[in-house]
Amino acid sequence: MRWIVFDFGEVISQRNPALPLMAARLGVSLDAFEAAYWDRDAYDRGGSDAEYWSLIGSALGLSFDSSVVREMTALDNAGWLDDPVMDTVALIEDLSSLGVPLALLSNAPATFARLAEKVPWAKHFRHLVFSGDLGLAKPDLEIWRHVESVIGSSDVIFFDDRTSNVEGALAAGWDARLWTSAAAARLELRTEFGDLGA
């Protein structure tokens, strides 16, 4: 049976709903905060929490001590993890119940990864792969090859909400599909895995 590999951000998770709270905590506008917040590539490739928040602080004209770094990191991680998209979680549960082998591939920092491994939906994945543990990130060619070595297969269906990641996976030979919703994914998967419901 083919593997299905899921992205995390804005597939299993919502777009981080804690962004306004984090901006307010720092006393800056949401627009200014987001302009700094989404510069996450180094963080996703193994950068530390302190390095990431220092970068944000520099962009906003602020400096953070270690207690603020811990607080902001906790707010950030909770925003991503505390309220997943339940339609996606239900799809994952249904696929798992059918015995479909599932893996997660997320561009995410290591601190986040250790928390994500413990949430209830994580048990449905045979492998959880996080860029922050590897020093690699989507859409690097090496990260697709790493996942293949972990799961022992290159016969995968991959869902991601970012076109650049889908294109990278396609270039690596994966059956990569742009994520729009759990309902759309159910329809796409019906031909291979049968009726997965609504």
What one-letter code names the amino acid at 78?
A: A
Distance in angstroms (rounded) separating the CA atoms of residues 72 and 49: 9
Distances from the Cα of 61 to the Cαs of 36, 41, 54, 68, 150, in angstroms? 11, 20, 10, 15, 42
State the DSSP string of 69-112.
Answer: HHHHHHHHHHHHHSS--HHHHHHHHHHHHTT--EEEEE---HHH
In order along its 198 residues, the chain shows pLDDT tens digits of 899 999 999 999 999 999 999 999 999 999 999 999 999 999 999 999 999 999 999 999 999 999 999 999 999 999 999 999 999 999 999 999 999 999 999 999 999 999 999 999 999 999 999 999 999 999 999 999 999 999 999 999 999 999 999 999 999 999 999 999 999 999 999 988 877 765
For residue 156, give both structure tokens. Answer: 């995968």
Would you call 115 exposed, middle or buried from its count of C-beta atoms within 10 A (0-12, 13-18, 19+)?
middle
Distance in angstroms (rounded) separating the CA atoms of residues 85 and 92: 11
Integer-rounded Cα radius of gyration of the chain: 17
Q: Is 156 helix (H, G, I), strand (E, B) or coil?
A: strand
- State the pTM of this model: 0.95
What one-letter code names the amino acid at 10?
A: E
